[in-house]
Amino acid sequence: MIQPGLIELENISLTLPGFALENINLTIRENDFFAVIGPTGSGKSLLLEGMLGLMPFTSGRLLFNGTDMDRVPVEKRGLAIVYQDFALFPHLDVAGNILYGTRYHGISRDEAQNRLEHLSDILGLSRILDRRPHNLSGGEKQRTALARALILNPSVLLLDEPLSALDPVFHGEAKELLKRIHREMDMTIVMVSHNFDDVIYLADRGAVIHQGRICQTGDINILFEKPCDLFTARFVGMANLMPVKVGKGRVTVEGSDVSLRTANQPAFPFGYMGIRPEDIVPEPEGDVPVGSEPVGNRLRGTITGIDNHGMFIRVGLDSGGLQFEAVWPRRYIRQYNLSHGSGIRVYVSPEAVHVFREKLDPVPGCQDKAPLS
């Protein structure tokens, strides 16, 4: 029953009135936890609908394990999905929901019962098997929807914004649960999300989608650290984005004297610099890894703002007439005597200075290729 979960999308397009997915190429490998990331309206949920067979692609090929899915109806594709709103059947209780699909997958009554017990154990549903969906909390609904999909041992599990309908209180639990499911069960997971924080915790690989096109795809850490264009950079939380002239091992911010060493030598003469706000650190801390001194960047700045974000603070810095933004633990306020208008020296490692283009030629661009920086 268990099949490998290789998914290939070849030149997929899907045209609707007023919106289109264009020329999507993706390879999702077996046992990947693959994230499709993009803002609302970027087309990522439409892509899921297309993969499920609920929306016919206008052109292109969709292959599961090498088999063209074009004429395979929804119910034969063997893809399970957990919807954002969970889509539980309101007239069935939790057990009825979970068992729903078993009869279509040659699972015997006894076997189905065994799996039900096992899954409801794991997912903490044992005591609510006879409740109706409208009596469940958000977290319970989600776990029921997961169990309903997992009981079929699908080779591919699709998750449509799995965390956005949950209260912050359930959010952390649900994240861990999804991670555990991927670790312990043998399947490919494709998740659609607009929240990069969730994605980076869960996914191995991913693709960034924007206005129906894929901007970048690859290892999730590379998307995070080396976004290949300005849109992706903003989306993954890169800050301190400034236009730069590129020199040998250095970038110079346009219209200023500020010049920074970079370990990411790009092949183009003009572009954008980006530094993650948490990679700008106060100087004493920057001293710790001794030896990095000769190649490090040291800046002297004035604090222009300190905003409290709970766990961390966001600090505004003026250095050489440029505005930088750093994120630090809250205890630094006391530790470094931070206050509005006071001076501070900060350190930026050359690895943390990223360089990329403003915009990429979308076709064939950087699809499934190494990023440019």
Partner 1 sequence: MSVLNRAKTDGMGLFFMGFSLPVILLLTLPLIEMAREPTVAMLFNTLKDREVMLAIARSLGFSLSAGLLAFVLGTPLSYLLARRTFPGKKLIEGIIDLPVMIPHPVVGIAILSLAGRTHPFGRFLADMGVQIMGTPTGIITVLLFVGLPFYVNTVKAGFESVPARLENASRTLGAGTWDTFRRITLPLTWRHMVLGIIMCTARAISEFGAIVIVAYHPMTAPVMIYERFTAFGLEYSQPVAVWLIALSLLLFVALRMMSRSAVQYQR
Shorter beta-carbon distance to its own copies: residue 8 or 318 = 318
Q: How far is the CB of 156 from its own copies (least distance, A)?
A: 24
Strand-by-strand arrangement of the 239-246 sheet:
259-261, 250-253, 239-246, 270-275, 354-356
37, 206 Cβ separation under 8 angstroms: yes
Partner touching 75 among partner 1, its own copies, none, CB below 5 to 8 Å by kind: partner 1
286: amino acid identity, one letter: G
Asked if residue 323 binds its own copies (CB under 8 A), the reply is no
Q: How far is the CB of 75 from partner 1 (least distance, A)?
A: 5
Q: Which region, judged by CB under 8 A, interacts with its own copies, from 80-88, 192-200, 264-272, 355-363?
A: 192-200
16: amino acid identity, one letter: L
Q: What are phi and psi of 158, to 5 degrees?
A: -100, 135
Look at residues 246, 300, 240, 251 and name the one whose alpha carbon lies nearest to residue 268.
Answer: 246
Partner touching 350 among partner 1, its own copies, none, CB below 5 to 8 Å by kind: none
Partner touching 87 among partner 1, its own copies, none, CB below 5 to 8 Å by kind: partner 1
Among 17, 18, 90, 310, binds its own copies (CB under 8 A): 310
Which pair of tokens denotes residue 23? 């020329």
292, 339 Cβ separation under 8 angstroms: no
Q: What are phi and psi of 294, to 5 degrees?
A: -60, -30
Asked if residue 358 binds its own copies (CB under 8 A), the reply is no
Among 3, 31, 96, 164, binds partner 1 (CB under 8 A): 96
Look at residues 33, 22, 6 and name the one whose alpha carbon lies nearest to residue 162.
Answer: 33
Shorter beta-carbon distance to partner 1: residue 104 or 268 = 104
Cα angle 123, 97, 146 (rounded to 5 degrees) comes to 35
How many Cα atoms sit within 13 Å of 144 on the Cβ side? 31
Shorter beta-carbon distance to partner 1: residue 153 or 259 = 153
Find all residues with CB under 8 Å of 76, minimum gap 6, and list them.
none
Q: Hunting for tokens 């306020």 — which residue is that?
A: 333
146, 115 Cβ separation under 8 angstroms: no
276, 352 Cβ separation under 8 angstroms: yes
Number of residues that bind its own copies (CB under 8 A): 41
Among 20, 63, 72, 92, binds partner 1 (CB under 8 A): 92
Binding to its own copies (CB under 8 A) within 278-307 occurs at: 278-279, 281, 284-285, 288-289, 307
208, 368 Cβ separation under 8 angstroms: no
Asked if residue 138 binds partner 1 (CB under 8 A), the reply is no
The contact mask relative to its own copies for 116-155 (x = CB under 8 A, - = no) is ----------------------x-----------------
Among 27, 58, 65, 292, binds partner 1 (CB under 8 A): 58
191, 220 Cβ separation under 8 angstroms: no
Spatial separation of the C-alpha atoms in residues 19 and 31, rounded to whole Å: 31
Among 34, 235, 324, 356, binds its own copies (CB under 8 A): 235
Shorter beta-carbon distance to partner 1: residue 101 or 277 = 101
Shorter beta-carbon distance to partner 1: residue 92 or 200 = 92
Among 119, 152, 242, 273, binds partner 1 (CB under 8 A): 152
236, 219 Cβ separation under 8 angstroms: no
Asked if residue 1 binds partner 1 (CB under 8 A), the reply is no
137: amino acid identity, one letter: S
Chain contacts with partner 1 (rule: CB under 8 A):
52, 54, 56, 58, 73-77, 79-81, 83, 85, 87, 89-93, 96, 100-101, 104-105, 148-149, 152
Chain contacts with its own copies (rule: CB under 8 A):
39-40, 138, 167-169, 179, 194-197, 200-201, 221, 224, 234-237, 276-279, 281, 284-285, 288-289, 307-312, 327, 329-331, 334-335, 349
